[in-house]
Amino acid sequence: MTRQPEFAVGTDDRRNATRLHLQVPIFVRGTDSHGDDFIELAKTLDISATGASVTLPRAPGKQGILTLTIPTPQMSTSGLIPAAMAPMAARVVRQKEVGDVHIVGVQFVRPLD
Protein backbone atom coordinates (compact mmCIF):
# COMPACT_ATOMS: atom_id res chain seq x y z
CA MET A 1 0.00 0.00 0.00
CA THR A 2 1.40 3.39 -1.01
CA ARG A 3 1.14 6.10 1.60
CA GLN A 4 0.60 9.72 0.51
CA PRO A 5 3.09 12.24 1.92
CA GLU A 6 1.64 14.83 4.30
CA PHE A 7 2.53 17.58 1.85
CA ALA A 8 1.93 16.64 -1.75
CA VAL A 9 2.29 18.89 -4.75
CA GLY A 10 -1.13 18.96 -6.37
CA THR A 11 -2.29 19.09 -9.94
CA ASP A 12 -5.68 19.93 -11.27
CA ASP A 13 -7.24 18.46 -14.42
CA ARG A 14 -7.47 21.99 -15.87
CA ARG A 15 -3.78 22.78 -15.41
CA ASN A 16 -0.95 22.11 -17.84
CA ALA A 17 1.80 22.28 -15.21
CA THR A 18 2.38 21.05 -11.67
CA ARG A 19 1.41 23.60 -9.04
CA LEU A 20 3.77 24.26 -6.12
CA HIS A 21 2.25 25.60 -2.90
CA LEU A 22 4.91 28.26 -2.40
CA GLN A 23 4.61 31.66 -0.77
CA VAL A 24 7.01 34.11 -2.40
CA PRO A 25 7.01 37.91 -1.94
CA ILE A 26 6.35 39.60 -5.25
CA PHE A 27 5.89 43.14 -6.56
CA VAL A 28 2.76 43.49 -8.69
CA ARG A 29 2.33 46.43 -11.05
CA GLY A 30 -0.88 47.04 -12.97
CA THR A 31 -4.14 48.93 -13.21
CA ASP A 32 -6.87 48.41 -10.62
CA SER A 33 -10.61 48.04 -11.19
CA HIS A 34 -11.01 51.85 -10.95
CA GLY A 35 -8.45 52.49 -13.71
CA ASP A 36 -5.70 53.68 -11.32
CA ASP A 37 -2.11 52.46 -11.78
CA PHE A 38 -0.59 50.69 -8.77
CA ILE A 39 2.45 48.83 -7.52
CA GLU A 40 1.93 46.57 -4.50
CA LEU A 41 4.06 44.17 -2.51
CA ALA A 42 2.08 40.93 -2.53
CA LYS A 43 2.77 37.20 -2.21
CA THR A 44 2.09 34.07 -4.18
CA LEU A 45 -0.01 31.28 -2.70
CA ASP A 46 1.02 28.81 -5.37
CA ILE A 47 2.97 28.95 -8.61
CA SER A 48 3.55 26.80 -11.68
CA ALA A 49 5.37 27.20 -14.98
CA THR A 50 2.22 28.66 -16.55
CA GLY A 51 0.73 30.83 -13.80
CA ALA A 52 0.25 31.69 -10.16
CA SER A 53 -2.25 32.54 -7.47
CA VAL A 54 -1.42 35.90 -5.85
CA THR A 55 -2.90 37.82 -2.90
CA LEU A 56 -3.40 41.55 -3.47
CA PRO A 57 -4.86 44.29 -1.25
CA ARG A 58 -6.82 45.72 -4.24
CA ALA A 59 -8.74 44.30 -7.17
CA PRO A 60 -6.91 44.46 -10.51
CA GLY A 61 -8.82 45.25 -13.68
CA LYS A 62 -10.69 42.26 -15.07
CA GLN A 63 -8.71 40.43 -17.78
CA GLY A 64 -5.91 42.98 -17.28
CA ILE A 65 -2.18 42.46 -17.68
CA LEU A 66 -0.01 42.62 -14.56
CA THR A 67 3.77 42.79 -14.28
CA LEU A 68 5.21 40.54 -11.57
CA THR A 69 8.73 41.01 -10.19
CA ILE A 70 10.32 38.85 -7.50
CA PRO A 71 12.53 41.02 -5.26
CA THR A 72 16.02 39.58 -4.86
CA PRO A 73 18.91 40.75 -2.69
CA GLN A 74 22.24 41.61 -4.31
CA MET A 75 24.28 38.54 -3.30
CA SER A 76 27.20 38.70 -5.69
CA THR A 77 29.11 41.50 -7.34
CA SER A 78 31.00 39.14 -9.66
CA GLY A 79 28.34 39.28 -12.35
CA LEU A 80 28.14 35.47 -12.46
CA ILE A 81 24.78 35.44 -10.66
CA PRO A 82 21.98 37.68 -11.98
CA ALA A 83 21.12 40.55 -9.62
CA ALA A 84 17.39 40.24 -10.28
CA MET A 85 14.84 38.16 -12.12
CA ALA A 86 13.31 39.76 -15.20
CA PRO A 87 9.73 41.03 -14.74
CA MET A 88 7.01 38.60 -15.88
CA ALA A 89 3.87 39.66 -17.72
CA ALA A 90 0.74 37.85 -16.56
CA ARG A 91 -2.93 37.98 -17.58
CA VAL A 92 -5.63 38.06 -14.90
CA VAL A 93 -7.82 34.98 -15.44
CA ARG A 94 -9.82 34.91 -12.21
CA GLN A 95 -10.17 36.74 -8.93
CA LYS A 96 -12.23 36.72 -5.78
CA GLU A 97 -12.38 38.85 -2.67
CA VAL A 98 -11.61 37.05 0.58
CA GLY A 99 -11.92 39.32 3.59
CA ASP A 100 -9.67 42.32 3.00
CA VAL A 101 -7.58 40.78 0.19
CA HIS A 102 -8.13 39.66 -3.38
CA ILE A 103 -6.98 36.24 -4.52
CA VAL A 104 -5.97 36.66 -8.16
CA GLY A 105 -5.25 33.83 -10.57
CA VAL A 106 -2.84 34.83 -13.33
CA GLN A 107 -1.56 33.10 -16.43
CA PHE A 108 1.95 34.00 -17.52
CA VAL A 109 2.11 35.50 -21.02
CA ARG A 110 5.24 33.40 -21.54
CA PRO A 111 5.59 30.18 -19.44
CA LEU A 112 8.58 29.97 -17.11
CA ASP A 113 11.57 27.91 -18.26
Domain ranges of the chain: 25-71+84-108
Query: What is the pLDDT, as a whole number, of residue 78?
Result: 66
d(CA 17, CA 29): 25
pLDDT given at position 73? 73
For domain 25-71+84-108, the question of CATH label 3.50.50.60 is answered with no
pLDDT in tens, 89-100: 999 999 999 999
Across the chain, where does the E strand assignment appear? 25-31, 37-47, 51-56, 65-69, 88-98, 101-108
pLDDT on residue 113: 79
pTM: 0.76
- Quick: pLDDT tens for 12-60: 445 568 889 999 999 999 999 899 999 999 999 999 999 999 999 999 9
- Determine the pLDDT at residue 11: 40
For residues 38 and 70, is the Cβ–Cβ distance under 8 A? no
Distance CA 30, CA 37 (A): 6
Q: Which pLDDT score is estimated for 6? A: 39
Alpha-carbon torsion (104, 105, 107, 112), positive or negative: positive
